[in-house]
């Protein structure tokens, strides 16, 4: 049965979704009704923004406090040469509007902090973490765990990338005594490296097409989650090596002593943590 909320133009635009039994007009309407916050409009965020907009995710928030530099253009494909010097959220928003006028795009020219994370994240159904620093990754993880918000994680380094997904649906898992508790980002990576020990892409470089692959996988996971179809990468870490063209998936388990997602958490608010530096629990 067709959902009459899809008009003729939308039925044409999303026809390759609508004809699929797994999606159909009802699934497409779910995408149009959904909201996703993309944190970072750089290498990972660019392909994710492109495909989420093209898929018809109806409300798309973009968070970034940086401006476009010419060195970004080798991989950050929502920006062009004419955008150099512009805020990334502005050029990314213009790209989305030109690609799909159905999308309500909301640029947030700011850096996510413990002070504003609730105001930003709580307005959206899913968060896609395309950030490039550990402080933001831990902050997003902790807030999403505490609020039960789904979170897509991706990261890249030179020729390698990784992706996982956290539904943060702990109440339903707790009701099933046979189900393993899902991990969070802190379960997999308990501590951030010491500042300065992991060089960034400005120091070591990055294969320009690498974030395209990883960001597309992140977007795929978000679309599947919104549709309620397939199996997302919860409890699994997908690792991609572009040099060898190999994918490896490893199971990851919850840490029963995790400070944020265990039964007896130490972190009950993001204000409990000093996110700059080691991202450890504050002694205050």
Distance CA 36, CA 152 (A): 10
Contact yes or no for 166/142 (Cβ under 8 A): no
Contact yes or no for 270/142 (Cβ under 8 A): yes
Contact yes or no for 5/97 (Cβ under 8 A): no
Find the helix packing angle between 88-99 and 45-55, rounded to 10°: 30
Residue 58 backbone phi and psi in degrees, to 5: -65, -30
Query: What does DSSP say about strands 35-39 and 59-63: parallel, antiparallel, or unpaired?
Result: parallel
Q: What are the helix (H) ranges across 79-196?
A: 88-99, 117-121, 134-147, 170-175, 185-188
Residue 271 exposure: Cα atoms within 13 Å on the Cβ side: 3
Q: Is 144 a catalytic residue?
A: no
Which of these is catalytic: 201, 258, 261, 279? 201
Active site residues: 201
């Amino acid at each position: 049965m067709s959902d009459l909320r899809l008009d003729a133009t939308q039925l044409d635009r999303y026809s390759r979704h609508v004809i699929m039994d797994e999606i159909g007009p009802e699934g497409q309407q779910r995408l149009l009704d959904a909201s996703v916050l993309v944190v970072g409009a750089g290498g990972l965020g660019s392909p994710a923004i492109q495909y989420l907009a093209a898929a018809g995710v109806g409300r798309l928030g973009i968070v970034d406090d940086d401006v476009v530099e010419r060195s970004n253009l080798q991989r950050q494909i929502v920006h062009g040469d004419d955008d150099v010097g512009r805020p990334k959220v502005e050029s990314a928003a213009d790209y989305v509007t030109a690609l799909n006028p159905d999308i309500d795009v909301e640029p947030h020219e700011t850096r996510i902090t413990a002070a504003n994370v609730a105001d930003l994240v709580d307005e959206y159904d899913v968060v896609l973490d395309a950030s490039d620093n550990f402080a933001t990754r831990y902050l997003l993880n902790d807030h999403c765990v505490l609020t039960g918000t789904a979170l897509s994680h991706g990261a890249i380094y030179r020729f390698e990338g990784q992706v996982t997904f956290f539904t943060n649906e702990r109440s339903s898992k707790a009701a099933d005594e046979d189900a393993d508790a899902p991990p969070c980002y802190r379960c997999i990576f308990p501590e951030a490296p010491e500042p300065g020990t992991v060089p960034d892409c400005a120091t070591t470089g990055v294969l320009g097409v690498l974030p395209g692959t990883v960001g597309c996988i992140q977007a795929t996971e978000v679309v599947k989650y919104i549709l309620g179809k397939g199996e997302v990468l919860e409890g699994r870490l997908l690792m991609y090596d572009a040099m060898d063209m190999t994918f490896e998936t490893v199971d990851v388990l919850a840490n029963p002593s995790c400070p944020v997602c265990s039964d007896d958490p130490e972190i009950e608010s993001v204000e409990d943590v000093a996110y700059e530096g080691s991202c450890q629990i504050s002694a205050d």
